Amino acid sequence: MKASNQFLKCSVLLAILSFFNISAQEHGHGHEGLHHWEIPSKDPDRIILTFNGNPATKRAVTWRTNKQIEKAFAQIAKATLNSDFVDDAITIEAKTEAFNLGQYKGNAPLMVNYHSAVFEGLEPNTLYVYRVGDGTEYWSEWIQFRTAKTDYAPTQFVYFGDAQNEVLEHWSRVIRRAYQTAPNAAFVVHAGDLINNAHRDVEWAEWYKAGGFIHSQWTAIPVVGNHEFWHLTDEHEGRRLSIQWRPQFTLPVEKKLPTELHETVYTVDYQDVRIIVLNSNELLEEQTNYVEKQLKKSKAKWNILTCHHSVFSPAKGRDFQFARENWKPILDKYNVDLVLNGHDHTYARGHVPIRTADTANDTGLSTVYVTSVSGPKQYPLDRDQIKSYSVDGYVPDKAAEQTQFYQVITIEDDKLTYVAYTVLGEEYDRAVIRKDFKTGKKELLQSKE
């Protein structure tokens, strides 16, 4: 009888120890060295909206949990004046992808799950609320966004150059100030180098924490930069795209392009504005044909291109010659309105005019080019290099250095208004493109240095 009691006591003790061990794992006590906001849990984190199809009728959402949430769901409903919308919410089962953070030696050896869902069949110009979770207990808050209109209508969006370094410490105030300036922006362009070390999860954690709920309200157009590529195991294997990129962003797939370019090269059509996103890091030749095809078939009133590397670099030692020789002629041919770049950690806006045959007189505007930076890493301007682009027809208009910026672009009627703000919320630069949609002819109204 005593042996039986001892066995029972041992069994109970083992059960208790096992419980506390599991409980410790669930609550992250085994995650030494990690901040609490890095640690995955059953609660959804890193929630982000992206475009994946027609912005008037579709939207994608992606989020992360720990590995215990093996099945996840998203719910969506039309927003109402009170909480009655919950009775009409539609539930969608998410796709779940197991992900090993430990693929990169700089990360904790954790398994997490990424979940994604695409909301389809939405009504245009409608305010929706959505939430994500496990379907029972572990839900996010309800979050609002508005679908696009089907016709040409006023549009506003935000554009950031590189965040990259000390993102939580120094970029957080930039994105938050931008949100204060343009809270109703329809979407946001992140023009590459969102973080510094492509695979390092603490940096992605900082990026998500810096933006907080903003990432789940503003629909993101992420652009891949050179710092989204890095060696995974050792420097002899070559650089590869961030292991987090595809799991954490649900982006359009251009199936006719090489698989290496999937979810890094895509096009978004938003209310008669076409935004073409390129990967300026690799397979540039393959993208040249893509650019021409997307512009040739575009019926949009405004065409905007974004890639990470600056076509007209304002920083010393930088030179994206391929783009000037191969992409710029296409942009000229199809009268592209605006090009948004990063990479050079300084600020410059310039334009390429349409000139007469004798090159003496401007007869209109072709394209406005912008390079900007939102993070703390700053480079000096190379004004001599900027002047050298005159052989390519480039005319410099405004420049700055040692300043963190964000930009708000507003499109209404026949005008595209571009405004660059400093991190203090002060207007630094303004340019207005006025366009005759019948002829395509444009004029540039601007502030100059």
How far, in Å, CA of 40 to CA of 270, rounded?
34
Taking alpha carbons only, the member of 384, 265, 394, 266 closest to residue 324 is: 394
Domain positions in the chain: 45-146, 155-446
Q: Is the pLDDT confidence value at 206 over 80? A: yes
Torsion of CA 416, 417, 422, 425, to 10 degrees: -120
Give percent of the chain with pLDDT exceeding 90: 86
Count CB neighbours of 321 within 10 A: 9
Q: List strand residue ranges (DSSP E) for 187-237, in order.
A: 187-190, 219-222, 229-231
**Residues 354-373, mean pLDDT to the nearest whole number:** 76
Tell me what pLDDT residue 33 has.
Answer: 84
Strands 239-241 and 266-270 come out as unpaired
What is the per-residue pLDDT for 328? 97
Rounded to 10 degrees, the C-alpha dihedral 43/47/53/54 comes to 110
The dihedral through the CA atoms of 124, 129, 132, 134 has a sign that is negative
Both tokens of residue 271? Answer: 């209310």
The Cα–Cα gap between 15 and 9 comes to: 10
Residue 256's identity, in one-letter code, is K
DSSP 162: B
- Residues paired with 265 in a beta bridge: none
- Hey, how many other C-beta atoms are within 10 angstroms of the C-beta on 363? 10
338 neighbors 301 (Cβ within 8 angstroms) = no
Tokens read off for 154 = 């006023």
Q: Tokens representing 3?
A: 């042996």
Round to whole Å and give the CA distance between 409 and 53: 22
Architecture in CATH of 155-446: 4-Layer Sandwich (3.60)
Q: Is 392 exposed, middle or buried (0-12, 13-18, 19+ CB in 10 A)?
A: middle
Cα 169 to the center of its chain, rounded Å: 19
Q: Which two tokens stand for residue 331?
A: 């942009």
85-139 pLDDT per residue, tens: 999 999 999 999 999 999 999 999 999 999 999 999 999 999 999 999 999 999 9
Q: Is 196 exposed, middle or buried (0-12, 13-18, 19+ CB in 10 A)?
A: buried
What pLDDT sits at residue 379?
96
State how far the Cα of 78 lies from the Cα of 92, in Å rounded to an integer.
15
pLDDT at 48 over 70: yes
Q: Name the residue among 436, 411, 120 with its Cα closest to residue 275.
A: 411
| Mean pLDDT (whole number) for 252-265 | 97
Confidence at 7, pLDDT banded by 50, 70, 90? very low
pLDDT confidence tier of residue 356, bands split at 50, 70 and 90: low
317 phi-psi bin (left φ>0, alpha ψ -120 to 50, beta other) = left
Neighbour tally for 229: CB within 10 Å = 18
| Model confidence band, residue 12 (pLDDT cutoffs 50, 70, 90) | very low
Instruction: Give which of 180, 225, 166, 160 is closest to 198, Cα–Cα.
Output: 225
| Residue 234 binned pLDDT confidence (cut-offs 50, 70, 90) | confident
- Spell out the CATH class of 45-146: mainly beta
Kind and range of the H or E run holding 179:
helix 172-181
* Pairing between β-strand 219-222 and β-strand 187-190 as defined by DSSP bridges: parallel
**pLDDT value, residue 22:** 42
Q: How confident is the model at residue 233 (pLDDT cuts 50, 70, 90)?
A: confident
Q: pLDDT tens for residues 173-192?
A: 999 999 999 999 999 999 99
Alpha carbons 251 and 274: distance in angstroms, whole number: 16
Q: What percent of the chain has pLDDT over 70?
A: 90
pLDDT (average), residues 300-315: 97
Looking at the DSSP assignment, which residues form a beta bridge with residue 268? 275
